Amino acid sequence: MHKLFLGIVSVYMFLKKLRIFAKRVSLNLAEFHLLFSSAHRALWLFIISNYVSVLFQLDWQNKLYLSPLTTEFGADITCGEMALASSLLQGAQAEWALLCGNNPYVLTRCAQMLEEQTEIDFIDLNLGCPIDLIYQQGAGSGLLRRENALGTIVRSMAGVLNLPLTLKTRTGVHSDKNVAHMLIPKFKEWGAAAITLHGRSREQRYTRIADWDYINECARLANPVPLFGNGDILSFEDYQRHKEVILISYFPSVIVFFLLSAGVMIGRGALMKPWIFQEIKEGNHYDISSRERFEILKKYANYGLEHWGSDNKGVETTRRFMLEWLSFLHRYIPLGLLERPPQRINERPPPYVGRDDLETLMASPDCQSWVKISASCILPHLIWETIEMILGPVPENFHFLPKHKANSWK
């Protein structure tokens, strides 16, 4: 089965190269480009329906250089951070990724530009962002209350793209009124190739447990379009429990759609323990030592410096995003210290003393500890008796306040 999967992926990558080649070489190859694009899209849908189990959604606090780390740990697909379509069209310096907007023309033109000028595999439209500014402009989760505009946007984007268009959405805007089950049949009609559903409303943010029963209901309605559930995945047990729920939703059509299955998208869980994808693939827990976690941080810093540059501005930009990541990473409790594994994502971790000084420092909810980790977190009295620097000393009068403001200081 693994060799079959590798063979399918090889064919997929070959078709992708042919599509890009036909697009770039000559307008005379337009018909070949369309042919390769159609085959490429069909194979993408086959792979995502049959072989993709776990996706990783990037966010503003980790940027694109966390993507290679999650891929190394087993994520099947990574999707970039949210980017405003209007900003991309104006040439703003941002990673081209998950699109957000409220204007059908702007979003459609931006999708065309991305398809023409990048080598991405699909375009994802954000219908779930709960941020007030985005919502008030009628974008993100604000589109869930603008059905006519939403329909125009999805139909327009799907109509001009050869690449698959995927949608990321929530249960609804209000806690007491789910709307996803009414929109999902329309998503299929409008041309969505896949759907990701976060099991909370905009109002709930992260204050409630993700509603996987509702995700299950929506997965039935989405069939045969693959639906990926999102929310509260921090262990392979969580994955198996929720994956089974979604697979059951396809059972009534098992004769027709026996190859179609869905998976999960992971966000916060991967920020707390990036190796969660490996645990899911192997069905096992891993007790990652403080030294191993520090090496992950060093690799993250290297990706950041490659991306932003190694001058003062690049170092401090990388540090800022590392500190944002540490606001999640410190919540991880090592397996060897858990009284009742697995750890639950919505349970606030209790204070504990680690098995070494570095592990204790990494568990601290104090921003000052995170700053120390970013500067010189390997303490001199540990066994290797050296101070290893990640990003060096912080500037004078340095202050940090996480965007999530969780256990932060100023």
Q: CA-CA distance, 135 to 138, in Å (whole number)?
A: 5
Continuous segment of H or E residues that includes residue 100: strand 98-100
Amino acid at the residue 337 = L
Active-site positions read: 129
Q: Return the number of other C-beta atoms located less than 10 Å from residue 325's C-beta.
A: 24
Per-residue confidence of the chain (410 residues) as pLDDT tens digits? Answer: 445 544 555 555 555 565 555 555 554 444 544 444 555 556 555 555 554 556 656 555 555 557 778 778 877 777 766 666 665 555 554 444 568 889 999 999 999 988 888 877 888 999 999 999 999 999 999 999 999 999 999 999 999 998 889 999 999 999 999 999 999 999 999 999 989 999 999 999 888 899 999 999 999 999 888 898 999 999 999 998 887 766 655 544 433 333 334 678 888 898 899 999 899 989 999 999 999 999 999 988 888 888 889 898 998 888 988 999 999 999 999 999 998 999 999 888 889 999 999 999 999 999 989 988 988 644 444 433 344 568 888 888 788 888 765 433 33
* Domain 54-282 homologous superfamily, CATH: Aldolase class I (3.20.20.70)
Which pTM value belongs to this model? Answer: 0.81
The 10s digit of each residue's pLDDT in 104-140 is 999 999 999 888 888 778 889 999 999 999 999 999 9
Q: CA-CA distance, 256 to 282, in Å (whole number)?
A: 29
Query: Domain extents for the chain?
Result: 1-51, 54-282, 290-376
The 10s digit of each residue's pLDDT in 155-188 is 999 999 988 899 999 999 999 999 999 999 999 9
Length of the chain: 410
- Report which of 195, 203, 197, 201 is spatially closest to residue 224, judged by C-alpha positions: 195
Q: CA-CA distance, 372 to 392, in Å (whole number)?
A: 9
User: Would you state the pLDDT for residue 391?
Assistant: 85
Cβ contacts of 63 within 8 Å, gap of 6 or more: 81, 95, 304, 307, 321
